[in-house]
Structure 1
Amino acid sequence: MYQIVFSLLLFFNMGFTTGESFFFSSVSDRLRAILENSEPGESLRVRGISLGKVEELQVFYSNRSFDEAWSEQGILTEWAYELRFEIKQAQFDGLQPKDYHIELIDAFFASFEQNKKSKTINPAEEVAELDLLLTDAFFRLATHLERGKVDPSQLKSPWDITRKSSRINAISLLVQALERKEIRKSLEQLYPNFSIYKRGREVIRSLDEKAKEDSLDWKVIKVDKSLKVNDSHAVIPVVRERLIFWGYLKPYSLTDPKKYDSTLFESVKAYQVKNGMEPDGAIGKNTVASLNASPRMLMDKASINLERLRWLPDTIKEAELVLVNIANYRLDYIQRLDTLFSSKVIVGKSFHASPIFSSPLTYLVFSPYWNIPASIARNEIIPSVRKNPNYLEQKRMEVVTTAGKPVDPSQINWSSKNFPYLIRQKPGPDNSLGSVKFMFPNKYSVYIHDTPSKSLFLREDRALSHGCIRLQNPEKFAALLLRDQPQWTEAKIKEAMSRDSELIVNLKSKIPVVLVYLTFWADSKGEPHFRPDIYNRDAELIALLKR
């Protein structure tokens, strides 16, 4: 009764005429009615908008005796405006503000602000509805910031790193945020514990500003062959225009716009360095493909990778770990946030994609046998033996039983579909695994290893293996892993890598190995790095984020 009387007094004090008739019902009464008439498990809808878990809303409001959270005496609070601002800022997390009812929330805000100007009381029904929308938006945004919007287990492309488990209670978080009147701080604490996440948000923010000044036609351009200095081509003016847009080049006078001149050459090299390409200055398919990306497209790419960071469990941020970014063709050995070792790697071909997973590195094998997988033996080795009976000898391969007993190849019917044996390549300089392999047991039979084909590391596209990770500098990596075992000197490691039989060396402590797929990140200086989507996985994720 007190609330009704107070509201009536407020009504007249605001200058309303006594001739106007109205009916005022308290906001808390409306909240109680809406929630108590909603069945657990059923969808609660506000103005046609489906809210999240009814049970969560019921618990939150019943704990506060159904008092409104985002208004006082029918007037929107400062923290209501703060939440609306944070919902809009979610675009820089790569999330969609529309997922958090922003259109309807904005409509309510506009109506209430107009009511304030005309000295009209905000109807209790509308205040209650807006309160529910804001609370549900907070819960939903908090969940997405903490663990991601998309469930990686539902992707067609595999992601076999266990998704981060929830460490917060959304209701408790909101209660605390309202008590402290700190909506932003409460949501920020849900960000992934990786410094690259916040830096990534700032990249999206700057790209958004860049998109606002964008007047270019981002039609797709192609080249049939790499263009070099003094070549002429119709795409040259477009390349020049886009490099000027991105700040790699300043406008300059031209005699022939279609000619690839030395000024453009220097800016192309600078662009290639920034985008992880070989800075040869040639305008090839990778350079052109990268230049086809508009600011909005790059915002999408960054958004996808912030979502991937939200999936990663907190345990990934270990004091010591080996991180392989497949899309960047690089391995980093990190200890206490310092990179002790960084090397180029070769990863799986698109049809033999390196998997995304995490497993502890436990031992090394020097001078390893290559136990050839059955699929490779069936599809590649056996057909080669049929064509060339000396193939096994030439490749230093041997046939063994499952127990490891050698089998005479001449006694095998190579035309038979039944092949109950294993094929392995002996240790040596031509062994496909090189001189050492680094083992982190997993269901994919994937590991890190050396390779005799060193020239492949000079290539820009290094998706070339059957799924394993080939390492450019294995000797240095082995030395770092064994640095707590003094007997493993540089000389002894070199000797172990040139044996004619395997030598297994266990590590004193297990080191997490994490294979990830990030096509974007921001470095310690906040500089963005974009990489090709070599496995064509980004499109599926951006579609789900925008759904």
Structure 2
Amino acid sequence: MIAAILRRLAVPATLGALAVTTQATAQVTPFNQAIAVAAAEDEALSAFYRESNFEPLWVGNDAGDTARREALLAVIGKASLHALPEGRYDTDRIRRMMADAKTVRDRGKLDVELSRLFLRFASDISTGVLEPNRVVPAIKRASPEDKRLELLRELSRARPHGFMDSLTPHSHEYTRLVRERLRLVDAIQNGTWGEPVQASRVEQGDSGADVIRLRDRLIAMGYLGRSATQVFDATMRRAVEAFQLDHGLQVDGIVGGKTREELNTSPSERLGSVLVAMERERWMNVDRGDRHIWVNLTDFHAQIIVDGEVFFETKSVIGKNVSDRETPEFSDEMDHMVINPYWYVPRSIIVGEYLPNLRRNPYAHGQLDIINSRGQIVNRGRGFSQFSARSFPYSMRQKPGPQNALGRVKFMFPNKYNIYLHDTPAQSLFQQNVRAFSHGCIRLDDPYEFGYALLSMQTDDPEGLFNRHLNSGNNTRVNLDQPLPVHLVYRTAISKPGGGMEYRDDIYGRDARILSALQAEGVPLETENTRLALSDG
């Protein structure tokens, strides 16, 4: 059996024979054999131990092995602070193996188990606990590759404690989310948010028990300084307005309806949003680009980010909350814009929305050309009643112009989901707080200015360049000299660089599914370790 495993691990045949016939003079010892057997079914582990000639990484007597053991157990001891499932790591079992490792074979098996434990933890903390697309199919991004063999190589050369710490996502957002998690756990355990507001409406000038409840909540959440007031005054109104702004609500300073609902949301519910945001941040533990486009679907805004700062921002409209219209999440690269675009109608819209009308009236939707496979416009007089959704042989498009469904410009990051950013003639939709109306693409409130901002990175006269093409009326492609990464994301909990949080509704219900999956993997909302960390901090 040992000889077969060694052959599978590509150990030279002479060493395999020696492993079976003798141990006194062979390089392959019982320790090596134990490692070979324990690592046999894992490609990365097998490759690493082959490279190191089956030397120990963890259980040797030198200072490096000791430091690696201590660093691994220390960092796993902080797993709860990162909302990771401690049960996956079963450190009690590992400690028992360490205590019971009496023979060299035991030590060989233990070395592999410690490597396996390290890889499991490293993957979870740096790339996420879950596989995104398995939980929510509309998340079209894979979690970052965890490069298991390279991790083991780096660990063998690095300072263990520093290397273990480096596995944590380095984004400022992740760090702030970890801190917010601790604050929310503290609020849950100590009941500092107090009682919810009962009255259906509370506004400036009011007094009584609900004003006191409102005051206490605003103080606990950080929107109001310490106060003993029992009257809803101007200071409290400003605090409510700040709360409304942070929660994507109409800013009117009145507590009622949606504002009351958000204000009464429990810290446990907010904690769930933060846990999901931490997992999502681990999924995007990659270089996002010094310049990139960031579209948070739940926030209904699109941003151009330059060196970590918002360079330009505009309102957006996203896909309707219907299964086949939700905007997916993915990252790609914007490389051009089209000014005065044609709108090529998606097949699903043609057969689902337009064909039934065309069957009744061939001249319906007259703003659209019906095109055959040779690119010719079809004579509508022949009618379309003979066609079904399956057999309809034509495509449809709308000419450039102010009433074009895409407006006067679209911004392209070619992808298989046929998603892009574009203008729209339906400007009234941007007056809504919740803007989920499209078939999946992302409409922009200020598309011209968005174009100017992009072109300002490659010309001294971005408005002139853009408007010359626009005013020509011609369908024109304008390439970006330096393509920009585009990230379509979905965050219901967003930290503020200056402190505090913003929250948005889980409009598609995706975060609820992710939270459920995290809890199924053993991620708790609060743990004893978190209490200890709070008391120590």
TM interval, shorter chain, is 0.7 to 0.9
Q: What does residue range 369-408 of structure 1 map to in structure 2 within 5 Å?
A: 369-384=342-357, 391-393=364-366, 396-408=367-379
> Do 2:36 and 2:46's aligned partners in 1 also have CA atoms closer than 8 Å?
no
Task: Please point out which of 449, 460, 483 is paired with 1:510.
Answer: 483
Partner in structure 2 of residue 100 of structure 1? 89
Q: What does residue range 116-155 of structure 1 map to in structure 2 within 5 Å?
A: 136-155=116-135
What's the offset of the Cα at 1:242? Answer: 3.7
**What is the rounded CA distance, in whole Å, between the counterparts of 1:204 and 1:34 in structure 2?**
42
Cα shift readout 1:422-462 (whole Å, capped 9, x = no counterpart): 22223222222111111121111111101122222222111
Task: Please point out which of 151, 156, 162 is paired with 1:175.
Answer: 156
TM-score, with length taken from structure 1: 0.73
Q: Secondary structure at the match of 1:478?
A: helix
Partner in structure 1 of residue 6 of structure 2? none
Give yes or no for the alignment of 1:363 onto 2:336. yes
Give yes or no for the alignment of 1:448 onto 2:454. no
**What is the rounded CA distance, in whole Å, between the counterparts of 1:170 and 1:229 in structure 2?**
58
Distance 1:518 1:446, change over 3 A: same
**What is the rounded CA distance, in whole Å, between the counterparts of 1:518 and 1:70 in structure 2?**
47
Distance 1:98 1:69, change over 3 A: farther
Q: Secondary structure at the match of 2:477?
A: strand
Q: Secondary structure at the match of 1:542?
A: helix
Give yes or no for the alignment of 1:297 onto 2:286. no
Cα shift readout 1:330-377 (whole Å, capped 9, x = no counterpart): 222223334322222111112211112222222222122222212222
Cα shift readout 1:261-303 (whole Å, capped 9, x = no counterpart): 8775443222112233332334465434533543333333222
Partner in structure 2 of residue 243 of structure 1? 218
Task: Please point out which of 175, 183, 197 is paired with 1:206.
Answer: 183
**What is the rounded CA distance, in whole Å, between the counterparts of 2:37 and 2:414 in structure 1?**
54
**What is the rounded CA distance, in whole Å, between the counterparts of 2:66 and 2:421 in structure 1?**
56
**What is the rounded CA distance, in whole Å, between the counterparts of 1:123 and 1:385 in structure 2?**
78
> Do 1:427 and 1:500's aligned partners in 2 also have CA atoms closer than 8 Å?
yes
**What is the rounded CA distance, in whole Å, between the counterparts of 1:467 and 1:222 in structure 2?**
38
Q: What does residue range 269-284 of structure 1 map to in structure 2 within 5 Å?
A: 269-283=241-255
Partner in structure 2 of residue 22 of structure 1? none
Q: Secondary structure at the match of 2:365?
A: helix
Partner in structure 1 of residue 284 of structure 2? 312
Give yes or no for the alignment of 1:480 onto 2:446. no
What's the offset of the Cα at 1:79? Answer: 6.9
> Do 1:434 and 1:451's aligned partners in 2 also have CA atoms closer than 8 Å?
yes
Q: Secondary structure at the match of 2:120?
A: helix
> Do 1:71 and 1:80's aligned partners in 2 also have CA atoms closer than 8 Å?
no
What's the offset of the Cα at 1:384? Answer: 4.7
The number of residues matched between the two structures is 482
Matched AA of 2:316:
V
Partner in structure 2 of residue 13 of structure 1? none
**What is the rounded CA distance, in whole Å, between the counterparts of 1:192 and 1:212 in structure 2?**
27
> Do 1:108 and 1:130's aligned partners in 2 also have CA atoms closer than 8 Å?
no
Q: What does residue range 22-37 of structure 1 map to in structure 2 within 5 Å?
A: none
Partner in structure 1 of residue 316 of structure 2? 345
Partner in structure 2 of residue 430 of structure 1? 403
Partner in structure 2 of residue 117 of structure 1? none
Q: Secondary structure at the match of 2:77?
A: helix
What's the offset of the Cα at 1:532? Answer: 1.8
> Do 1:145 and 1:187's aligned partners in 2 also have CA atoms closer than 8 Å?
no
Matched AA of 1:247:
G
Distance 1:82 1:411, change over 3 A: same
Matched AA of 1:342:
E
Q: Which moved more, 1:341-350 or 1:96-105?
A: 96-105
Q: What does residue range 3-152 of structure 1 map to in structure 2 within 5 Å?
A: 38=38, 40-41=40-41, 63-64=54-55, 68=59, 83-102=72-91, 136-152=116-132
What's the offset of the Cα at 1:228? Answer: 6.3
**What is the rounded CA distance, in whole Å, between the counterparts of 1:100 and 1:57 in structure 2?**
21
Cα shift readout 1:100-149 (whole Å, capped 9, x = no counterpart): 224557x869xx9xxxxxxxxx7665997998776554332122222222
TM-score, with length taken from structure 2: 0.75
What's the offset of the Cα at 1:236? Answer: 7.8
**What is the rounded CA distance, in whole Å, between the counterparts of 1:389 and 1:462 in structure 2?**
33
**What is the rounded CA distance, in whole Å, between the counterparts of 1:457 and 1:363 in structure 2?**
25
Distance 1:70 1:304, change over 3 A: farther
What's the offset of the Cα at 1:154? Answer: 2.3
**What is the rounded CA distance, in whole Å, between the counterparts of 1:271 and 1:82 in structure 2?**
42
Partner in structure 1 of residue 16 of structure 2? none
RMSD of Structure 2 on Structure 1 (CA): 4.2
**What is the rounded CA distance, in whole Å, between the counterparts of 1:540 and 1:222 in structure 2?**
30
**What is the rounded CA distance, in whole Å, between the counterparts of 1:524 and 1:87 in structure 2?**
28
What's the offset of the Cα at 1:468? Answer: 0.5
**What is the rounded CA distance, in whole Å, between the counterparts of 2:58 and 2:458 in structure 1?**
64
**What is the rounded CA distance, in whole Å, between the counterparts of 1:319 and 1:537 in structure 2?**
28
**What is the rounded CA distance, in whole Å, between the counterparts of 1:54 and 1:406 in structure 2?**
62
What's the offset of the Cα at 1:229? Answer: 6.2
Distance 1:167 1:80, change over 3 A: closer
Distance 1:145 1:63, change over 3 A: same
**What is the rounded CA distance, in whole Å, between the counterparts of 1:387 and 1:239 in structure 2?**
58
Distance 1:506 1:238, change over 3 A: same
Partner in structure 1 of residue 137 of structure 2? 157
> Do 1:327 and 1:531's aligned partners in 2 also have CA atoms closer than 8 Å?
yes
Q: Secondary structure at the match of 1:446?
A: coil
Distance 1:460 1:491, change over 3 A: same
Matched AA of 1:328:
D
Partner in structure 2 of residue 15 of structure 1? none
Distance 1:350 1:103, change over 3 A: farther
Cα shift readout 1:379-438 (whole Å, capped 9, x = no counterpart): 323445567776534xx3332323332223333235742432222223222222111111
**What is the rounded CA distance, in whole Å, between the counterparts of 1:500 and 1:268 in structure 2?**
47
> Do 1:305 and 1:519's aligned partners in 2 also have CA atoms closer than 8 Å?
yes
> Do 1:138 and 1:174's aligned partners in 2 also have CA atoms closer than 8 Å?
no
What residue ranges of structure 1 are gaps of 5+ in the alignment?
A: 1-28, 43-51, 113-121
Q: Secondary structure at the match of 1:535?
A: coil
**What is the rounded CA distance, in whole Å, between the counterparts of 2:44 and 2:485 in structure 1?**
37
Matched AA of 1:213:
N
What's the offset of the Cα at 1:523? Answer: 3.4
Distance 1:212 1:64, change over 3 A: farther
